[in-house]
Structure formats: C-alpha cells, structure tokens
A = this chain, B = another copy of it.
Amino acid sequence: MLKISAKGHSMPESPIRKLVPFAEAAKSRGVKVHHLNIGQPDIETPEVALKAVRDFSEEVVVYSHSAGNLSLRKRLSYYYKTVDIELGPEEIIVGSGASEALLFAFQSIMDPEDEVIIPEPFYANYNGFAKNAGINVKPIFSSIETGFSLPPIEDFEKNISDKTKAILVCNPNNPTGYLYSRQELETLRDIVKKHDLFLIADEVYREFTYDGKVHYSAMYLDGIEENTILIDSVSKRYSACGVRVGWLASKNKELMATALKFAQARLSPPSFGQIAAEAAVDTPEEYFVKVKEEYLARRNAVVEGINKIKDAYCPKPLGAFYVMAKLPIDDSDKFCKWLLEDFSFEDQTVMLAPATGFYSSPGRGKDEVRISYVLKLDDLKSSVKVLEEALKVYPGRT
C-alpha cells in the first residue's frame, strides 16, 4: 500500500503556521495585521555582511568543507575569544542554521526512544527535531509566576532515567525571554555531572540581554567540558535568519567526529550564507548598541503595556526578544484565531503565538501567548492597544 510513514504522521505542525490562512484572510478584508507571532526581526542585516556577498568574485560556487569553511570557523573562534570562550575551529561544525546543528547534536548523542529533558515552555521546533531524531522530550514545568526561572533540581532528578541522555536549555530563552543566572547554570552543571548527561545550551540569543545583565555561557562551566554542546547561529545576532548558518561547538572529540559524519552525508552548508556569516563577525559595536537600545525600548513598551491591561500579566524578561503574557482567556488557540477572524480595532489586529505550542504537557499554556517584539515601537504600541480592546469583547474571556 502506497502510504506515508508513521514518522511523517507524528511530525508536529507548527502551532503558528496554522494561523497563517486566517491572517491572510484578515489582510484580504483590509485589516492591518501586526505580526507579533514570529522570531523574524525587522532589524537590518549589517551592511558588512551584505557587502561581502555582493563582492563575491569566484567563478564557481563550490561545495565548502562539510564542517563549514575553515576561514568562517576561525572567525567564529575569534568571536568566542572576545567573550572569553576558548573554541578552536576544529571544535565547531557549521550547519544550515542552528536547526540542522541541533539535529546533528541530537542524532549524535541519542538513539530512537532516548530522552532529552527540556524546561517548558520551550521553542516549538525542538519537538520537530526530536520527532525527526525519533527521541522523546521530557518537559519540566517552569512557571510564569517565577518569571520562568529554572525549575527545582528535584524536578530534573525525578525525570532522569536510563533513557535520559541530555538536558537542553535555551539561554536567553525563547519563548520566555528568561536569562538563566550563573547560579542556575551551575545547578545544571551539577546535575549533568552527577548523572553523566550532555548539556545542550542553545545560546542563539546570547547578545540580547538587558538592564545591565551579562549572559553567562554554559561554556564557562568548569568540569563538564566533555558534556557541554553549544548551539549558536548568526540568524538573530545579525538579523540574518535567511542565510541559514548556525553551528554546534564542543570540546568532546568523539561527539564532534560523529557529528561530522552526519555533516558529510549532506555535503556542505550554504556557501553564500557562510560568506555573510564570516563578514558579520566584523559588525561594528555601534550596531549592537543601537539594536539593543531598540529592543530594550520595545520590551519596556510591551511589558508596561500588557501589565496595564486589566487581568493581564507578563514578567519583565532580561533577554532575547520575546515575552510570555498571561491573559484572561479560555483558550489561547481559540483567542489567537478569533483575533484574526472576528476582531479588529481601527482596522488593525494582531497575530500572536498561542502558548500551547510551547508546552508539551497537554493543557498547559491555554491562558498564555508569546509576543515577539520584532516590530517598530509605534506598531508595538498600537498592537498592545488592539490587544487591550480585544480582551474587552472576547467572548471567551474568563
């Protein structure tokens, strides 16, 4: 019988993409839709990166090294030196985005049915990578009440079994914006050391920290050098999501040799993207100063705006460009669809990400949404106003 695979059936559909047709329909009715649902920044890609691509002067666009161009990996090694992390070019494997790099990491350390522990809510695509690798995610609940800080150590311990191979944390966090402290990372170090687990640290938002807080990398942790796998990317740092350049990095030689076999099987990461990524490391400091100022103003506008809305609440996160908001609603999926299908205020509405997609425990996130502050300040302020008006009339208000 001609049929698709059980694996294909099990692949999750993006909780956000399900709403796209409703957003399209709203637009065709003349309603302006503010997109607060995605992690696609509106910030300009640094000129130095675009120029490098425009200056491409080779005659043939050839395969690169399977681990990525050596010149790029050397440049990344230099970047890490500037943030006090020692990583040689041979300790880095470049993928088609952090997506592929994380998949290489999963496949290199886990077999089907093995488990990775991830504090939830977590980035929805982790589910897709896990399904792809045939592994299972064990979520550990973190609460909006504590601002999504690290769950207590006992919650990790009681979920560790023979199948557990790794703990994955995203820091600063998508979707919560939470910035894990040095102390929390040291707690994670103690757990992975005690139970001989890998610690996968997704640090693609490492540059985006606010209120004077400094990012504490998992690569700073002593005594678990063989356990730590760093996932990183140029997508968010240089607002260059489309170049598809991310990487994994680790001092564990056996792991890197294995990941390289997966990398070799697909030949190489994209050449033009690597050129952009290599040049992007030279982005002047002013760029980040401006970008961070902009994000900070946006975060403040969103957080203050949401907290002024009756019965709405959102913590003030210290990193990334997301906030999770708790709203007086019955069902975030229904609410987000309703916003697009049945509501507008002054011919505007907002597209939000229902938080249910970021929890893997059923039933969680029904009264929460994720807001990406990737729009200009004026649009963000209008969006908060739209949300406030919407909550006044939403039939499923609780």
Contact = CB atoms under 8 A, between A and B. Distances in A.
A83 interface: no
Contacts of A49: 61
A395 interface: no
A276 B269 CA distance: 15
Interface stretch (A102-110, A293-301, A352-360): A102-110
Given A11-B258, A96-B270, A270-B272, A110 B5 contact: yes
A17 interface: yes
Contact of A54 (B9, B17, B56, B197): B56
A44 B62 CA distance: 10
B271 A196 contact: no
A1 interface: yes
A70 to B, nearest CB: 13
A266 B97 contact: yes
The 3 lowest CB-CB distance pairs between A and B, nearest first, are A128-B265, A242-B271, A272-B272
A122 interface: no
Interface in A184-236: 196-198, 226-227
A44 B63 contact: no
Interface stretch (A35-43, A303-311, A365-373): A35-43
B241 A62 contact: yes
Interface string A16-41: 01000000000000000000000011
B258 A270 contact: no
Given A5-B108, A6-B111, A227-B2, A243 B262 contact: no
Contact of A258 (B8, B110, B125, B252): B8
Interface string A123-165: 0010011011010000000000000000000000000000000
Interface string A250-279: 001011001101101111111111001000
17 contacts: A5-B111, A9-B258, A12-B265, A13-B261, A41-B60, A44-B60, A45-B61, A61-B239, A61-B240, A61-B276, A96-B100, A103-B266, A125-B266, A125-B267, A134-B134, A242-B271, A271-B273
Given A45-B59, A61-B241, A110-B5, A264 B96 contact: no
A244 B103 CA distance: 18
B270 A270 contact: yes
A112 B112 contact: yes
A398 interface: no
A331 interface: no
B61 A40 contact: no
Given A112-B134, A272-B243, A272-B276, A8 B265 contact: no
Contacts of A240: 60-61
A14 interface: yes
A110 to B, nearest CB: 5
A115 interface: no
Contacts of A264: 13-14, 17, 128
A187 to B, nearest CB: 19
A111 B8 CA distance: 8
A77 to B, nearest CB: 21
A11 B265 contact: yes
Nearest to A114: B5
